[in-house]
Chain A
Amino acid sequence: MRKRYFIHETGTDRVLNVIFQIMCAFVLLVVVYPLWFVIIASFSDSDLVNTGKVLFYPKLFSTYGYGEIFKNAKIWSGYMNTIIYTVAGTTVNIIVTVTAAYSLSRHEFGGRRFVNALFVFTMFFNGGMVPTYMLISSLGLVNNRLVMILPFCVNVFNLIIVRSFFESTIPPSLYEASVLDGCSHFKYFFYVVVPLSKAVISVITLYYMVAHWNDFFNALLYINQAQLKPLQIILRDILLSNQVFSSGATGGTGMSYAQRYADQVKYGVIIVSTLPIMVIYPFIQKYFEKGVMIGAVKG
């Protein structure tokens, strides 16, 4: 295969190539090392971590922190709530966004321009935090699971991505052929459009899922009952407000032991809360760049 190279590399290019490689390696290190550090710290003795002795691999390996996390009722309930909000919320998001995007992608649709403008306007103008809060509260949605699912179920940016995908990649002749075969909009949508749109649907599913999983703002504003709180609020209490992590069933062990491992617990919590959402990406990756590009080019 080498023989096919006709154009000779110049000396400058070789030097540049080395420089680029070094820069890439540096970027890789800067991104990966902090993540790696959190992983090894979650398995190591907290004193050694705090004195800077744990740098490349775990020392005094222990899984005490994870044990404590799995015994903690607050984390379990936060986890359950977050899963409920993420699954239900994303399902609603997808249904609402994809159907609306289909309507807006039909050129013959009468209200198209007006409705489109109605959606886009909300990207740049909004009622603000306080009026929105008062509306949600007057609808009785404060401390109600629905507030994490319904109110902001359509993200206009995602709507535009899907609409552009429908407009640019699904050939109009397909619709004509389907109509001649007796398809209504509903049938055409479910049997033709959706199966052809796996790429873009996966992309916005990822967007919505990450947003729900990491949502802190809405829960901060609208949820204050302990049993409804999602993971991110619980995490804030543990990681940032330094609320004492009750050592649960381990009555026998002394306070100092729990204190000593408090930091280990923190690192563990970071891993346990972040890993599920991080491992999703590789599954969707193959669709990803295609889907993003459509949104980018046609934005």
Chain B
Amino acid sequence: MSADPVHGILRRELRLWRVFRRDYQLWIFLLPALAAIIVFNYLPMYGIQLAFREYSFKAGITGGDWVGLKYFEKYVNSPMFGLTIKNTFTIASMSILLGFPAPILLALLFNQIRSPRYKNVLQTTVYMPHFISTVVMVSLLHVFLSMNSGLLTSVLKSLGLLTEKANPIGDPGSFVWVYVLSGIWQNCGWDSIIYLAALSAVDSNLYEACRIDGANRLQIIRHIDIPAITPTIVILLVLNCGNILNVGFEKVYLMQNSVNLSTSQVISTYVFNVGLKNSNQFSFGSAIGLFNTLINFVFLVLVNLISRRVADISIW
């Protein structure tokens, strides 16, 4: 009763004004990043409606006729659907299966080196390939794996790991292996940084106590090092699984050739081909892209749910 409504509003405005006076500089700081994100990340999300519309040049992105799920049906019913999904899943799961444990093992190995200087040399060296661009990386593959003069090809052939007629760059069967193993060569060292950082935080008293109890180095790795990095492993695993269908576009695109297309056409390269490069089927391309993003999103939520249940670790 006693509260005068006009007075109350005035008071609230005064408070807002004070908060604004206090915070306006923070808003100014935030403005450029916020503007960039809204324009270049959120406006395209608004453009997703293109996937449900018939694109016409005259009507623009949002003006075409509503066709509902037509383009999704077109994708699901096309022979490319099964192929792109299969290829994307194969590449992604192989990358996680082989590529995820590699940096962990490398970090555990490097952690066993006692000389700080040698360890430093090792680390700096294995980081180097990370800085190589995708274009250069793929051309290195061409150099080392070419059918006739490739150094690695001839080594593998003389070891009997490849047949005489094998062409690692062209054969559809070897595409996934080349993709995944070269990825490990390039990024394993770099990805191990995070685990090495976690390992360097382990209390050295633990190691000492363990050794007094008579543990050998493998037992120390098993009972101290691995538990120390388990939380990091789980978080990174969740993030990686959430990105399962975000197979790197650049590298697949650059490694593609007319011969290996049956194993190298993934969703993102297919979107590029139908949507932008060969034919401008904007609506069709948007629909496939949205399909990809949605699957990714569902995967991330699922994996996060599992990790929250099992390990009580969540990324949000």
Contact = CB atoms under 8 A, between A and B. Distances in A.
Interface stretch (A66-74, A119-127, A194-202, A244-252): A119-127
B29 A102 contact: yes
Interface string A93-115: 00111011011101011110001
Interface string A278-289: 100110010011
A299 B131 CA distance: 23
A10 to B, nearest CB: 6
Nearest to B19: A110
Interface of B, helix, strand, loop or mixed by DSSP: helix
B271 interface: yes
Given A24-B109, A24-B110, A292-B194, A129 B50 contact: no
Interface in B62-87: none
A133 interface: yes
B275 interface: yes
Given A104-B30, A122-B41, A129 B285 contact: yes
A127 B33 contact: no
B40 A152 contact: yes
Contacts of A111: 27, 30
A7 B135 contact: no
A293 B135 CA distance: 30
B296 A124 contact: yes
A267 B34 CA distance: 43
Interface string A135-154: 11010000000000011111
Given A34-B140, A240-B142, A292 B193 contact: yes
Contact of B289 (A104, A106, A118, A130): A130
A16 B113 CA distance: 11
Contacts of A108: 22-23
A56 B307 CA distance: 49
Interface in A75-103: 95-97, 99-100, 102-103
Contacts of A159: 33
Contacts of B8: none
Contacts of B297: 124-125
Interface of A, helix, strand, loop or mixed by DSSP: helix
Interface string B18-29: 010011011101
A130 B30 contact: no
B134 A99 contact: no
A196 to B, nearest CB: 17
Given A103-B27, A115-B30, A296 B268 contact: no
Contact of A289 (B22, B30, B196, B268): B196
A226 interface: no
Interface residues of B, number: 91
A17 B217 CA distance: 8
Contacts of B100: none
B106 interface: yes
A103 B29 contact: yes
B112 A20 contact: yes
B128 to A, nearest CB: 6
Nearest to B128: A278
Q: Which of A131, A232, A289 has the largest number of chain B CB atoms within 10 A?
A: A131
A60 interface: no
14 contacts: A12-B217, A50-B149, A104-B30, A127-B289, A129-B268, A131-B286, A154-B33, A214-B132, A214-B135, A239-B136, A239-B139, A270-B136, A274-B132, A282-B124
Interface of A: 7, 10, 12-13, 16-17, 20-21, 23-24, 27-28, 30-32, 34-35, 37-38, 49-52, 95-97, 99-100, 102-104, 106, 108-111, 115, 118-120, 122, 124-136, 138, 150-154, 159, 184-186, 189, 210, 213-214, 216-217, 220-221, 232, 235-236, 239-240, 266-267, 270, 273-274, 277-278, 281-282, 285, 288-289, 292-293, 296-297, 299
Given A125-B297, A274-B132, 19 more contacts: A13-B216, A17-B217, A20-B109, A31-B125, A31-B185, A35-B128, A38-B143, A127-B41, A127-B43, A127-B289, A128-B271, A132-B40, A153-B32, A153-B36, A285-B124, A288-B193, A289-B200, A292-B194, A293-B200
